[in-house]
Amino acid sequence: MEKRYKYYYFIGIGGIGMSAIARYFNSAGYSVSGYDRTPSALTARLEEEGISIHYEDDISAIPKDKDNTFVIYTPAVPADMGELRYVMEQGYAVCKRSRALGEIAHGKKCLAVAGTHGKTTTSTLLAHLLTHSGEGCNAFLGGISRNYDSNLLLSSNPVLVAEADEFDRSFLQLHPDIAVITSADADHLDIYLDHSHLKDAFAEFASQVNKDGFLVLKKGVKISLEKVNAKILTYSYDTPADFYASDIVAQDGGYFDFTLNTPKGKIEKCTLGIPGWINVENAIAASAAALLYGITPEKLKNGLASFRGVARRFDIRLNTPQCAYVDDYAHHPNELRHAISSMRGIFKGKRLCGIFQPHLYSRTRDFAEEFADALSGLDELILLHIYPARELPIEGVTSRIIFDKVKLENKILISKDELMDTIRQRDFECLITFGAGDIDRFISPIEEELKARIEK
């Protein structure tokens, strides 16, 4: 993508990663347009920013000037989708989202955060630490930063912060100067077949870190480091490592004060601006990368305290004595466990009801027992049917295979169409919505229903 084109056309423009790249080219003054399957709050925002979007598979919407049009697509789009087939057959310049991001990163100092969970909060916090310190960065994020109300940050500083996505081996397009790996749990087995192959991909990503750079690895993550030429440093929540927290003091509302231990000494009286112990762990990873980049301890502390989190990442929407409501993107068993554990710590003694929408038939099949075990940590469960995303149904795979294994008496399995009526008929002390599908369409209606109930 050395040539700059007049038109940039996105197939699947409403995805969180795709939309950040679309915003990047739009902000640079190019003509940007695209297709997505359904309208959303994010596509509405893109349209407000001047990007033309349509929602039907329609080749007539593709720019006709083939020689001056570059097409970027997400692998979440089926290979037989009409527009994608057309641009391939007609000889347009075409690439996947991951390669486009790799090309944008070329020539910049790249700070990348990878992991099967934790990467969105960690990369967003890292971008905030660089921005708040005055250094600035260009950031392509996997969520909407609450500090900046965007998944794209721009700066004249030639530094790029990227969420490095393991799906479809996308992160192998990046060659970072500093990389963080937060986790390498089994996931995306539709792509990798088994956990061993996924860990091989993480090992390859680690080997691509610049030999003069740093790999910051969560202590206990088991991947091969034989081919890593960068300096390897470890981090943990509270177990001694190169970077870890000590003197951890819980405050009201689930916030924490702590001392950050680093190879160059202690940074005392750190406070993170969002609640939850898992976010302290993410903050240690982001802090490690920021300090290795060169942020000063004082600027680091200020950045941590001013961080406001990421939409749909342990997002506290309502917190009153009568009722609390939290929304979270968790769609992997370990993410569910961490979120439920954090909820228990913040809302002590309250009855916890979770609404979970499984994401993908393959993930449901591969982790049904683990999902059931994690969800059994709730007091009540409202389970929805599977959100298929890019997949066709798999015979015998439904939400029922999770539901039957959940060890709760108070559990129901319903359709999305029944959800709001179910919520209206129930009382909640503490409610959390989980999932990476279209459960996000219910966040505002649920919040409004609970607020109206409190105001009566």
pLDDT, tens only, 198-226: 999 999 999 999 999 999 999 999 999 99
- Cα distance between residue 39 and residue 35, in whole Å: 10
Residue 101 lies in a domain: no
pLDDT class for 167, splitting at 50, 70, 90?
Answer: confident
Residue 239 one-letter amino acid: T
- Cα distance between residue 347 and residue 99, in whole Å: 43
Q: 76: exposed, middle or buried (C-beta count within 10 Å: 0-12, 13-18, 19+)?
A: middle
DSSP class of residue 243? B
pLDDT class for 189, splitting at 50, 70, 90?
Answer: low
pLDDT of residue 22: 98
pLDDT reading at 324 higher than 60:
yes
pLDDT class for 185, splitting at 50, 70, 90?
Answer: confident
Q: What is the domain range of residue 169?
A: 107-306
pLDDT class for 183, splitting at 50, 70, 90?
Answer: very high
Residue 27 lies in a domain: yes
Using the 3D structure, point to which of 96, 127, 160 is the last residue of a domain.
Answer: 96
pLDDT of residue 432: 97
Same-domain check for residues 111 and 239: yes
Comparing 389 with 287, the larger pLDDT belongs to 287
Same-domain check for residues 335 and 406: yes
pLDDT reading at 1 higher than 60:
no
pLDDT reading at 433 higher than 70:
yes
Ranges of beta strands (E only) in 165-228 are 178-181, 214-218
How much is the average pLDDT of 313-321? 92
DSSP string, 198-212: HHHHHHHHHHTS-TT
Model pTM score:
0.90
pLDDT of residue 130: 98
Nearest-5° Cα angle at 33, 436 to 437: 10
Same-domain check for residues 123 and 207: yes
CA atoms within 13 A on the CB side of 390: 16
pLDDT reading at 252 higher than 90:
no
- The token pair at 204 is 């390859």
pLDDT class for 12, splitting at 50, 70, 90?
Answer: very high
Find out whether 5 and 85 touch, Cβ atoms under 8 Å.
Answer: no
pLDDT class for 2, splitting at 50, 70, 90?
Answer: low
Residue 408 lies in a domain: yes
Find out whether 1 and 15 touch, Cβ atoms under 8 Å.
Answer: no
How many residues in the chain? 456
Q: 448: exposed, middle or buried (C-beta count within 10 Å: 0-12, 13-18, 19+)?
A: exposed
Find out whether 376 and 336 touch, Cβ atoms under 8 Å.
Answer: no
CA-wise closest residue to 443 among 41, 127, 152: 41
DSSP class of residue 178? E
Within 10 Å of residue 327's Cβ, how many Cβ atoms?
26
Same-domain check for residues 84 and 126: no
pLDDT, tens only, 62-109: 999 999 999 999 988 988 999 999 999 999 999 999 999 999 999 999
CA-wise closest residue to 437 among 316, 356, 367: 356
Longest distance between any two alpha carbons in the chain, whole Å: 63
Same-domain check for residues 223 and 279: yes
How much is the average pLDDT of 358-375? 96
CATH number at residue 191: 3.40.1190.10
Residue 208 lies in a domain: yes
pLDDT reading at 362 higher than 70:
yes
CA-wise closest residue to 186 among 113, 117, 278: 117
- The token pair at 359 is 């994401």
Using the 3D structure, point to which of 272, 306, 340 is the last residue of a domain.
Answer: 306
Q: How many domains does the chain have?
A: 3
Which distant-in-sequence residues (6+ apart) come within 8 Å of 254 by Cβ? 275, 276, 342, 345, 346, 347
pLDDT of residue 353: 98
Residue with tokens 């009153």: 320
How much is the average pLDDT of 400-413? 98
Residue 102 lies in a domain: no
pLDDT reading at 193 higher than 80:
no
